[in-house]
Structure 1
């Protein structure tokens, strides 16, 4: 599993995972600021991430409601997780991710792409229907 953290996650969570060597749990771990401008439009970076087969984790829970982003998700068979905590403190985001980690890995391994899951504060996954 190759993970890509969207810019709205920031750099603290992915760099903490790298520092803790948790990135070794994935085949690769990337975050937005490593590859794209901070203001790069979602409909620009999503196709590139999709072409690489990366799984997106971010706070933006509206990709499936915007035409260009939805089109990229479908066309490039993107797996996407909407992580709870857009307004939460960094530690709370980390806790949410840690609670959900095994479920994210399982969902990634058994769910045909494209897919979208919402990750709740308690780490549960909820399927988001793709129109």
Structure 2
């Protein structure tokens, strides 16, 4: 199997993914700003690019399953997505949650057919998110 790539969308900023990248994890790390995507690029546009590369989306934007054109992009581009708790919990707690869950995220990404969304909880549990027909 090809190496997996985690793509951190713009809501994560660049500090956390850049720090992870420097640690040389067992997956490739990419992020919105590092890919030189415009800050105001619509979600469905970067989803097309990321989905075409089969990258795994990590986001703190918890609405992809609620907005019709984003649901359509998620499905059309076979997005594999993991929602993380919002940025209000702080970067340190977000890093701790990522470290506690990254192996399960990898396993879920490898063993579930795209498209899908899972929500990573503050507790470290990971639950599927229902994606309605868009």
TM-score, with structure 2 as normaliser: 0.90
Q: Which residue of 2 aligns with 1:10?
A: 13
Deviation of 1:124 (Å):
1.1
1:52 and 2:53 are equivalent in the alignment:
yes
2:113 equivalent in structure 1: 112
Structure 2 unaligned spans of 5+? none
Task: Structure 1: state its 5+ residue gaps.
Answer: none
Q: How many residues in Structure 1 have an aligned counterpart in Structure 2?
A: 128
How far apart are the structure 2 equivalents of 1:33 and 1:102? 25
Asked if 2 retains the 8 angstrom alpha-carbon contact of 1:116 and 1:128, the reply is yes
1:20 is aligned to 2:23: yes
8 Å contact kept, 1:77–1:114: yes
1:28-75: CA deviations, max 9, x gaps? 221000220112111221111111111100001110111111111101
Tell me the distance in 1 between the aligned counterparts of 2:99 and 2:122.
11
Distance 2:87 2:53 in 1: 26
User: Contact 1:81/1:118 (CA < 8 Å) preserved in 2?
Assistant: yes
Instruction: Choose between structure 1 and 2: higher helix proportion.
Output: 1
What's the offset of the Cα at 1:14?
0.7
Secondary structure of the residue that 2:46 maps to in structure 1? helix
Structure 1-normalised TM-score? 0.92
Q: Which runs of 4+ in 1 moved over 3 A?
A: none
Backbone CA RMSD of aligned residues: 1.1
Deviation at 1:86, TM superposition (A): 2.2
Asked if the contact 1:4–1:32 (Cα under 8 Å) also holds between the matched residues in 2, the reply is yes
3-state DSSP of counterpart to 1:123: coil
